[in-house]
Amino acid sequence: MATFCKVRKRDDGIYVLTLASSDGHHYLTTEAITQLKQALERIRSTKARGLVTTTTSGSFCDGINAVSDDDDDEPLSSLERGMAEVVRLLLDLPMPTAAAVRGDARWLGFVLALAHDHLFVHTEAVLGLAAAADTTAKPRRRPLPDYVVALLREKIPYAQLRKLLLLKAHVFTGEELKGNWHSVHEAIPNRDHVVAVAVQNLQSVVVGDGMDYAKVRRTMYTNSCVAVAVTTTTTTMLPFDGSSSVANGVTISSEMTPSGESFNSSYNSSTTPVDISLAAIEACTDGFSESKKVGSGAYGKVYKGVYNEEELAFKKIDGLAVLNEDQFKNELKHLMSVQHRNIVRFVGYCSQIKEKFIWRGKEYVSVQYITRILCFEYLPGGSLDKHLDKESESDGFDWRTRYNIIKVISQGLNYLHELEKPIFHLDLKPANVLLDENMEPKIADFGISKHFTGTKTHITISKPTGTPRYMPPEYLNKLVISNKYDVFSFGVMVMEIIAGPTGYDNFSEANDQDSFKYIDRVYKQWEKRITAKSHDPSAEINQVKRCINIAVKCLNQNRDDRPEIKAIVGELN
């Protein structure tokens, strides 16, 4: 029954710490704790990017039996002290977020991954984690919540423990949440808290009946929570850097699903792309069948399918063989760094290169077949252009919906432009704006977007990309890119949202006098429609006038005379 540790370093700089045993059972003895501490101390001396904990069978804490050589009267057993030291070593790893964890952002989410039959055998492990919350030199016991103590004493099966446990630095607290999932958010004051949700498996959530794993994950994403944790066959602990909008912290998640697919359960803050196998995607999309196809574009076809109980959109990329694997993964990291409610959420990717030999002429030659797929959240409302194309004056969106779409798109674009390393979309158009079930828009398709660094106000490229209709004149003539490129595209979109698919053409192809006559006609049409349906139309009529003025300013031929997107957001708000 000997338990021992093995450590290996992956190519990406992440260390894998494995608990192994001679008989497949893992007993967390004081000897095993000592080995764990030694392994962690070795990892501390290196520049580790992260740490994965796993076992030869089962989850990291699965099957742990609390074995202590000390007397029961001792205030804190050697096993508890050992657990506390192990957790401290985990927190003290020389990673970018370690200071944040020990500093102001003191919330740390721990899931007690004590799966399988009974919780009572893990009492000392629980107490060790509680003791680890005290960061003073000498660990001391922290009282557990009464209901946890009662459950431990009564040896209640773990499956019946439907609670959320939060571990805060210096104070161990437990909360019994009998209501629905939203009551969790009421208990958490703000987004700076790192939340850990215990999940017994990928189908059963331990907080609240009737909410599956995918719903909890989506709810957390919507409410800007930082981490979601699961207990499956592997327990992963990866410190990460949060964006400016969320606190830094530690995510405890599952790296592998029961089916063996690579998976990262924290969509909201991870900067590491999720690698999904081609076989899994083919299974989700019925082998990329036509019945699963939901769209296509210049860069590939889009299919929908259900993966890990969540409906996703799989974009199969064509013609990217010129990118090597490192370049492709670098672009994926850029995608994962974009986290905003008005940007389509990037979930993961598949990149598979196969070498085949084919007969060509008189000999066999080696040919590389490259399959690359980008995976995003699926939005059932479809793309905005489909709604604009089929509408007439008698149907289509009302003004309130149109105004909200314009405003939300501006907010998403402003987020991209205001990043520390700004991103220019360069292909903003109705086809690249997707709508959810409530007609809330999200910006999609960053296939040709560029990070813009340094102090330059514009750059010049050698090869044109994008959709000509939405390109500004300085790009069409001289291939100049600046933040005003997207502003021009936004102006074209606003004109189309207000006046229909031909709105921009009618405006741009007319002379100055006729173009303003056209705008006045559009304004009066909306004034008539709004007045007929509203008892107090003045506010919406003013919004129409404001949006028309914004569109005209965005379509200025001189890029310096176009407004910044930040100013547009302020005007719309």
Which of 62, 134, 427, 486 is catalytic? The answer is: 427
Q: Read off φ and ψ for residue 550, nearest 5 degrees.
A: -65, -45
- For the chain, how long is the longest CA-to-CA vector? 94
Distances (CA, A) of 509 to 121, 157, 558: 77, 73, 17
Beta carbons of 124 and 83 less than 8 angstroms apart = yes
Neighbouring residues of 570: CB distance < 8 A, sequence distance ≥ 6: none
Q: Nearest Cα to 370, choosing from 314, 321, 330? A: 321
Beta carbons of 239 and 109 less than 8 angstroms apart = no
Cα(153)–Cα(160) distance, integer angstroms: 14
Q: Is 215 annotated as a binding residue?
A: no
Give yes or no: 505 in active site. no
Cα(487)–Cα(475) distance, integer angstroms: 13
Beta carbons of 199 and 231 less than 8 angstroms apart = yes
Cα(306)–Cα(285) distance, integer angstroms: 8
CB-count burial class (<10 Å; 0-12, 13-18, 19+) for 294: middle
Cα(312)–Cα(265) distance, integer angstroms: 14
Beta carbons of 239 and 50 less than 8 angstroms apart = yes
- Binding residue ranges for ATP: 315
- Binding residue ranges: 315
Annotated catalytic sites, by residue? 427
